[in-house]
Amino acid sequence: MIDKLEPVVVDEDLAEARAEAQDAWDEYVDSVPSIDNTRPRNVLDLYQEFTPTTAIYDTDVEVPYLVALLASEAGEVAGKYQKLVRKHGVTDPANTDVETYMTFVYDVQYEMGDVLWALSQLHNYFSLSMTDTLALNREKLRGRQERNVIDGSGDFR
């Protein structure tokens, strides 16, 4: 069980690359105007505008590619957990040493970024806003909570 979390640098090159990526992202965010025509911009809007600049795939098969990529990347998140269970015999990452825990959390976050990239590109393809999707999901969950059906089944409960 973890008593105290302390910063752990697993790989100095990885930590340096992460810092450089963060600096590049911060520079990009600073370069984008803060207001668009309809609402204040947020980090999801900025990210959604950014992802096409890194997209390299055949647009003739865009949707099947992105859906397969999304499933693959979500599988990689699950794979990090599976390896934690296999290597450390625990189902709760907090029941490991600090270095193992921090490595797991970082690895999962790294893969979740790829999941978000695929989601962003799917949103772009369908001309949807990730911000709007989150708002829609929030309202759906609030409605289910208010109707006391959040633990039921079916899309429209």
For domain 59-145, the CATH class is mainly alpha
pLDDT of residue 156: 72
In percent, how much of the chain has pLDDT > 90?
44
Q: What is the mean pLDDT of residues 114-137?
A: 93
pLDDT tens for residues 27-72?
A: 765 665 444 445 556 888 899 999 999 999 999 999 999 999 999 9
pLDDT at residue 4 is higher than 50: no
**DSSP of the chain:** --S------S-HHHHHHHHHHHHHHHHHHHHS-SB-SSSB--HHHHHHHHGGGG--S-GGGHHHHHHHHHHHHHHHHHHHHHHHHHHH--SSGGGS-HHHHHHHHHHHHHHHHHHHHHHHHHHHHTT--HHHHHHHHHHHHHHHHHTT-TTS-SS--
pLDDT of residue 135: 86
Domain ranges of the chain: 59-145
pLDDT of residue 28: 61
pLDDT of residue 54: 95
Q: What is the mean pLDDT of residues 82-92?
A: 91
